[in-house]
Amino acid sequence: MNTNIVPITRARNSLGNLARKVRGSQYIVLTKGGNPQAALVDVAYLKHLEEEVKKIYGKTFIDPKLLPQTRNFSQKEINEWQKEDRL
């Protein structure tokens, strides 16, 4: 993956050229004051990412009827599981 970082002030004058540079998984991060603010992404790649997210949500979706049977886990429980995963 090739990522370019461009300040928004510089991108304003060359937006068309920058848009032509984004292909596939290559994208350009636009910054303001050195902080990431937005990204220029190939539309086909964006659609691919959206489809992948849908697949993930489909696998992790919790039926609203089951929500009363769920609970929040404590940080201690989470830490214990992470410790077990490292073993």
Q: Where are the domains of the chain?
A: 3-86
CA distance 19 to 62: 38
Comparing 24 with 65, the larger pLDDT belongs to 24
Neighbours of 22 (CB within 10 A): 19
Averaged pLDDT, 14-24: 92
CA distance 83 to 48: 34
| Class of the CATH-defined domain 3-86 | alpha beta
- Measured in degrees and rounded to the nearest 5, phi and psi for residue 4 equal -110, 145
pLDDT for the residue 84: 86
pLDDT for the residue 29: 95
- Measured in degrees and rounded to the nearest 5, phi and psi for residue 24 equal 60, -130
Q: Please give the mean pLDDT across all residues of the chain.
A: 85
